[in-house]
Homo-oligomer: A and B are copies of this chain.
Amino acid sequence: MSKGEATRQFIIEKAAPIFNKKGIAATAMSDIMDATKLAKGSLYVHFENKDVLAAEVVDHNLNLGRKKLQAALNIAGTSKEKLFTYIDVVTDILNPPVPGGCPMINFGMEADDTNPEIKQKINQAIESTQQWISDIIKQGIKAGEFRPDWNHKEFATIMFAMVEGGIVIGRVAGNNTKIKAIGKALKQMISSQQLT
C-alpha cells in the first residue's frame, strides 16, 4: 500500500465514527482535521470533496459491521448458532460492532430524503443482510436443522426489522433493556422452528 493509500485509509478510519455519530451534514471537515491531525489541504489531496469522503466512510462502516460479524461467526457451527451470533452481535448496542451504532439506520435515515447515492448504498446493505439471514435459514433447512416449511424470506425481513427497530429503541433510551427482550424473543422464534 502506497503512502497515499495509507493516509487515505487512515483518514477514513478516523472519520468513520465521527460521521456515524454526528451524521454527514453535522460533521465538518474541520472535525476530520482535528481527528487526523492533518492539515485542511491534506484531506483534499485524498478526497475530492466531503461527499466522496462521506461515501467512503459509509462503505467503511458497512464493511466494519460485516467484518465484526464474520469474526464472531467463526465459532458458530450450526445455522441456529449463526443466527444467534448475529443477534448477539447486532443487539449489543452498549458495545456496538460499529462505533456510533448501526450505519444502516444512521446513514439510511439521514440520506433517505437528501442523498440518493448513499441511500442506494444502504439499500443494498439492508437487502444483502436480509438475504444473508434468509440463506442461513435455507442452509439450516437443507441440513435438517429447521422445519422445511419455514418461510425463510419472510422471517429474514421480520428478524432484520425487529433488530433494527430494537436498536432505535435502545439507542434513544440509552439502554439495552428492550433490545435484549427482542433478541430473546427472536431466539425463541428460531428455536421454535428447530427439528428434534
A6 close to B (CB within 8 Å): no
A181 close to B (CB within 8 Å): yes
Secondary structure type dominating chain A contacts: helix
For A112, list chain B residues within 8 Å (CB).
Answer: 101, 171-172
Bound CA–CA A37/B164 (angstroms): 39
Q: Mark A11-34, 1 if CB is under 8 A from B, else 0.
A: 000000000011101100000000
A142 close to B (CB within 8 Å): no
> Are the C-beta atoms of B164 and A119 separated by less than 8 Å?
no
Shortest CB–CB separation between residue A94 and chain B, in angstroms? Answer: 13
Q: Mark A117-129, 1 if CB is under 8 A from B, else 0.
A: 0010011001100
> Are the C-beta atoms of B109 and A110 separated by less than 8 Å?
yes
